[in-house]
Structure formats: structure tokens, C-alpha cells
């Protein structure tokens, strides 16, 4: 007799994992914590790095952006290689290299060398993130369990972001800024020991040949586009930015055409015809743009404008990070009953409210409104990220989980670049446009003040008290006006994400 009842008919009926599977999840959270701590620590260390290394405005953005730029260019490649050679193997190689590159960044003597070390972090980070998410897809075959696992995975980003400011703030108050990069190193030891014991290896049983042309085209598409966006944000419209954007678009078109005709494509373009996949990718992208852009200017506002120490500024943002974790976990049971095209826009209403609150919060109101704004913002982002990541993984076949995860991570990292380059670039542009340098300021100090808010702070400290206070008051006011406009733009991006979710996720079932 055929035992048809033993064959799962849907992912909800698939076998459930036991304690070993959940222990593997804990191990997979380690590299996620590693990367997220590194990102948040850098945001809070940026003022001290700016003072110590004296980067230009462009170099300051590059210090943050070169990591996600390199990572975004390599994610699809590394995700595909993980499908072929083993996702756990890529995870271990990436973790080892990431820790070594973190040590190099910690002792960088100049802005240029710090940027180079951050580029290496992007290279090894590209091996880490698709591996963690795709391994979850192969371990948790039951969709209900996978929803919870992905919520925990996404919460690890928030937990690392919450832990980063506290650990980083403590280190910045007691050690040189380079110490913040060393927090990644201790994560390496338990990961290398536990992953071979608890995390099963997985790969695509029929990966096809390595397509070197597609690998080059994917990088040639991503890097010029992101570079063009950065150039546009920092320097405004230019022939150079347009040329880079055009190059990226041409290379991207060639990449897509090659995937459409390949017998075994590096990236299955048919995935993008599914609303649950393409819509979730766009929600992921815009949510991260909103989050990273918020952190970029709020961390400077807390430390430079309000005068908080790095430790105190980090603690001020912890409630918002915790709200992201709670929202990401709480949305799991709700997502079984409410369709994504209703649930995601409803969640993002909170994020819009958070941006509107910070838009009308000035330095005169102190820290409390910013804390509340980030809590409200975090509720929406945390819920939306959990739902979108689960939809991305569920839309792809298990054997292509690495490539699908890489697309999800590409959206995340591209969102991080755009959050800094677009929103960060806009606030820099508004700051420069609004800043009127008072008469009597030396030319060198005036130039530094026009570059960045940190430059204005340093210049004001070096001037006589009376004239320094005048310069700093003008710089603070100019930065505040930039926060207002940039926050309204951030709110508009979140509204756009909600509209996309409402339209593209309409046919997505709850199970």
C-alpha cells in the first residue's frame, strides 16, 4: 500500500526540526551579530574617526559605504558559489576572513587604509550573509518553524545593532576608536567550533558549471550603479555620475539577458515574475534605506548637536532596537492569519509616524522625542523585515536558496548604501546649503565647517571661545534644517514601500 499520508503536501506539513535544529539557529546568529555589531559600531565611532583621521566629506561617506558597496557587488556571486561548493564552507571561510579584516581596520593609520580594510570586510561579508539565510532554508523545511527562525535571524540584526552602541560606546570612552572593530574577533572562536558540529552542510545537487561571465557582469552592474548614486548624493548631478550609472545599467541588462538564455542560469530571473518575491525585495530595500538613513543623521545629532557621549547615545537608541526585535517576533503568529499585502503596509504606518516625529524634533526638545521616534520607526521596520525575508525564501526552490538569499542580502546592503548615500548625502547637501559661515572665521576653519558637521565641531574647538561658539551655533542650526527635510523624504520612502507591498503581495497566501 502506498503511504501517501506521509508525503507533505505543503511546506506547513513538512517535518519539524528538534533541539539540534534550534541549536544550529543559535550558531547561525553569530555571524549575523558580528556583521550588525560592526555596522552600528562604525556609525557611532564616525565622529571620533572624523576627528582622528580628518577625512573629507567624500572619504567619510566612503568609510561607511565601501563595505556594503563591495558586499553588494559580490553577494549574488558568493550565494551562487555557496549553492555549488557548500553553504557551511562559505560561512566558515567568510567568518575567518571577516575577523582578520576587522583587526586590520582597527589599526588603520589613515582614512584611505581604513577604506581599504572596509573593502576586505565587504569581500568576506559577502560569503557570510547568504550562507546564514540559505542554511535556514535547508534546516527549517516546515514553514511555520521557518517563519519563527527567520524572525529570530532578523532579530539578531536588531540585537547586534542594539548591542553595538553599548559595547562600542564603552570602548570609545576607554580606548582609541580602532577598538570598536575588534569586537568581531571573539565571535570567530565559537562559530568555528560549533558550526561543523551543529550546522549541516547543504548545496545544490545539480549546480551546473561556474559562469565566470555572469560573475563579472553581476559585479560590473552593481558597483557602477551604487558608485553613481554615491557621486550624485555627494557632488550633485555630473557627467561622471551619469556615465557610471549608464555603465551599470548596460552591464545589468547584459547580465539579465545572459540569465534568460542560459541553460542553468546563475540567477533564475523567473523568480522576479512572482509578486511575493519582487515585492518583498523592494520592501526590504526601502525599509533598510529608511533605517540606515535614520541612524546616519540621528547618531550625529545625539553626539555632536546634543553633546552626548558615544555610550549615552548608544543607550538612547536601545529602546528602538528592542522594539524592532519584539515587533519581528510578534508578527509571526499574526502573519499566519493576516495576508502580507495588509500586514506590511499596516506595520509601516508606524515607521512613517516615527519619521514625521523626528522631522519636527529639534535640539530644543532634547533626547526623549528621538527615543520615541526610533521606537515607533523600529516597530514597523522589524515587522516588515521579518515578513519580507520569509517571503523571499519561500518563493525560491530549496536548491537555489543561496542565490535567493543573496538577492535578499543584496537588497539589504544596497539599502544600506542608499540610506547613507541618498539620505546621508541629502542631509550633507542641505547642511552645506544652509550653513552661512560667520564673518571673521579663518578660511581653513570655514572650509572644514563646510565639509561635515564633525569638521565644524573640530574647527569650533580650535577657535577662540566666542567666535567658535558662533560658528558652532550656525553649523548646528544648518544641520537641524537638513534633518527636517531629510526626515520628510524618509517618510515618503516608507509610504512608497507600503504602497508596493499593498499592490505586489495581494496574491500571496498566508501559508
Q: Count the residues in the chain.
A: 511
Q: What is the pLDDT of residues 107-140, one digit of tens each?
A: 888 888 999 999 999 889 888 877 887 888 888 8
pLDDT band at 208 (very low <50, low <70, confident <90, very high): low
How far is residue 188's CA from residue 94's CA, in Å, rounded to a whole number? 10
In terms of domains, do 279 and 416 share one? yes
227 in a domain, yes or no? yes
Q: Cell 572665521 belongs to which residue? A: 441
8 in a domain, yes or no? no
* Most confident option among 205-219, 248-262, 431-445: 248-262
Instruction: Provide the CATH number for the domain around residue 457.
Output: 1.20.1250.20
* Most confident option among 11-25, 269-283, 351-365, 371-385: 371-385
- Please tell me the pTM assigned to this model: 0.76
In terms of domains, do 437 and 477 share one? yes
Percent of the chain with pLDDT over 70: 90
SS3 state at 509? coil
Mean pLDDT (the chain) is 81
Residue span of the structural domain in which 280 resides: 272-510
What is the pLDDT at residue 508? 61
In terms of domains, do 249 and 201 share one? no
In terms of domains, do 236 and 133 share one? no
In terms of domains, do 248 and 384 share one? no
- The Cβ-side half-sphere exposure at 171, using a 13 Å CA radius, reads 21
Mean local confidence (pLDDT), 25-50? 77
Mean local confidence (pLDDT), 391-405? 72
Please give the backbone phi and psi of residue 199, each rounded to the nearest 5 degrees, phi first. Answer: -100, 115
Number of domains in the chain: 3
pLDDT band at 377 (very low <50, low <70, confident <90, very high): very high
In terms of domains, do 354 and 469 share one? yes
List Cβ neighbours of 248 (8 Å cut-off, separation of 6 or more). 220, 221, 222, 223, 224, 225, 226, 227, 228
**For residues 218, 221, 223 and 227, what is the CA-based torsion angle, rounded to 10 degrees?**
-170
What is the pLDDT at residue 207? 66
Residue 390 has pLDDT above 90, yes or no: no
Please give the backbone phi and psi of residue 224, each rounded to the nearest 5 degrees, phi first. Answer: -65, -35
What is the pLDDT at residue 191? 86
Q: What is the pLDDT of residues 225-257, one digit of tens each?
A: 877 776 766 666 788 888 988 999 999 999 999
139 in a domain, yes or no? yes
List Cβ neighbours of 53 (8 Å cut-off, separation of 6 or more). 110, 111, 114
In terms of domains, do 333 and 283 share one? yes
In terms of domains, do 172 and 186 share one? yes
**Which range, of 135-139, 210-214, 413-417, 468-472, averages the lowest pLDDT?**
413-417
End residue of a domain, out of 235, 263, 291: 263
**Which range, of 39-48, 151-160, 265-274, 330-339, averages the lowest pLDDT?**
39-48
In terms of domains, do 194 and 312 share one? no
307 in a domain, yes or no? yes
Mean local confidence (pLDDT), 275-302? 84
109 in a domain, yes or no? yes
Percent of the chain with pLDDT over 90: 10
5 in a domain, yes or no? no
Mean local confidence (pLDDT), 368-397? 86
pLDDT band at 4 (very low <50, low <70, confident <90, very high): very low
pLDDT band at 3 (very low <50, low <70, confident <90, very high): very low
C-alpha cell at 379: 516597530
247 in a domain, yes or no? yes
In terms of domains, do 305 and 247 share one? no
In terms of domains, do 479 and 452 share one? yes
End residue of a domain, out of 263, 282, 301: 263
11 in a domain, yes or no? no
CA nearest neighbour of 511 among 365, 391, 413, 378: 391
Is-contact 75 15, C-beta < 8 A?
A: no
End residue of a domain, out of 220, 237, 263: 263
pLDDT band at 12 (very low <50, low <70, confident <90, very high): low
In terms of domains, do 281 and 391 share one? yes
Amino acid at each position: 500500500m502506498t503511504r501517501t499520508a506521509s508525503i507533505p503536501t505543503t511546506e506547513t506539513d513538512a517535518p519539524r526540526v528538534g533541539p539540534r535544529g534550534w541549536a544550529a539557529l543559535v550558531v547561525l546568529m553569530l555571524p549575523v551579530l558580528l556583521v550588525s555589531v560592526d555596522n552600528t559600531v562604525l556609525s557611532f565611532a564616525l565622529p571620533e574617526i572624523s576627528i582622528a583621521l580628518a577625512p573629507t566629506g567624500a572619504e567619510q561617506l566612503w568609510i561607511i559605504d565601501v563595505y556594503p558597496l563591495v558586499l553588494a557587488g559580490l553577494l549574488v556571486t558568493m550565494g551562487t558559489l555557496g549553492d555549488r561548493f557548500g553553504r557551511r564552507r562559505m560561512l566558515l571561510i567568510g567568518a575567518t576572513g571577516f575577523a582578520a579584516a576587522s583587526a586590520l581596520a582597527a589599526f588603520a593609520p589613515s582614512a584611505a587604509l581604513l577604506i581599504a580594510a572596509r573593502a576586505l570586510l565587504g569581500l568576506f561579508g559577502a560569503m557570510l550573509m547568504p550562507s546564514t539565510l540559505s542554511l535556514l532554508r535547508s534546516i527549517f523545511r516546515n514553514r511555520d518553524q521557518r517563519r519563527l527562525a527567520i524572525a529570530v535571524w532578523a532579530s539578531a540584526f536588531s540585537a547586534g545593532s542594539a548591542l553595538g552602541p553599548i559595547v562600542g560606546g564603552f570602548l570609545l570612552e576607554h580606548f582609541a576608536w580602532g577598538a570598536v572593530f575588534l569586537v568581531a574577533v571573539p565571535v570567530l572562536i565559537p562559530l568555528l567550533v560549533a558550526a561543523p558540529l551543529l550546522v549541516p552542510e547543504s548545496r545544490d545537487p545539480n549546480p551546473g558549471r561556474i559562469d565566470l561571465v555572469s560573475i563579472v557582469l553581476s559585479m560590473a552592474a552593481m558597483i557602477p550603479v551604487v558608485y553613481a548614486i554615491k557621486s550624485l548624493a555627494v557632488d550633485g548631478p555630473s557627467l561622471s555620475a551619469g556615465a557610471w550609472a549608464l555603465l551599470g545599467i548596460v552591464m545589468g541588462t547584459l547580465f539579465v539577458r545572459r540569465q534568460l538564455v542560459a541553460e542553468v542560469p546563475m540567477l533564475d530571473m523567473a523568480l522576479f515574475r512572482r509578486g511575493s518575491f519582487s515585492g518583498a525585495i523592494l520592501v526590504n530595500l526601502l525599509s533598510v534605506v529608511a533605517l540606515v538613513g535614520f541612524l546616519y543623521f540621528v547618531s550625529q545629532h545625539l553626539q555632536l548637536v546634543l553633546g552626548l557621549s558615544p555610550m549615552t547615545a548608544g543607550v538612547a537608541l536601545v529602546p528602538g532596537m528592542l522594539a524592532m526585535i519584539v515587533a519581528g517576533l510578534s508578527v509571526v503568529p499574526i502573519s499566519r492569519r493576516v495576508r502580507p499585502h495588509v500586514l506590511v503596509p499596516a506595520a509601516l504606518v508606524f515607521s512613517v509616524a516615527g519619521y514625521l516625529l523626528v522631522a519636527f524634533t529639534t535640539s530644543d526638545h532634547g533626547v526623549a522625542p528621538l527615543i520615541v521616534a526610533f521606537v515607533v520607526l523600529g516597530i514597523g521596520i522589524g515587522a516588515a523585515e521579518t515578513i519580507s525575508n520569509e517571503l523571499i525564501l519561500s518563493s525560491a526552490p530549496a536548491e537555489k536558496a543561496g542565490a535567493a538569499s543573496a538577492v535578499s542580502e543584496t537588497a539589504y546592503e544596497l539599502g544600506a548604501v542608499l540610506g547613507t548615500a541618498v539620505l546621508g548625502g541629502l542631509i550633507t547637501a542641505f547642511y552645506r546649503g544652509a550653513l552661512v559661515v560667520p564673518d571673521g572665521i579663518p578660511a581653513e576653519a570655514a572650509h572644514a565647517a563646510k565639509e561635515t558637521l564633525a569638521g565644524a565641531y573640530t574647527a569650533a574647538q580650535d577657535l577662540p571661545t566666542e567666535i567658535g561658539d558662533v560658528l558652532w551655533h550656525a553649523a548646528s542650526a544648518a544641520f537641524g534644517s537638513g534633518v527636517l527635510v531629510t526626515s520628510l523624504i524618509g517618510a515618503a520612502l516608507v509610504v512608497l514601500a507600503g504602497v508596493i507591498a499593498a499592490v505586489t503581495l495581494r496574491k500571496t497566501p498566508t501559508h
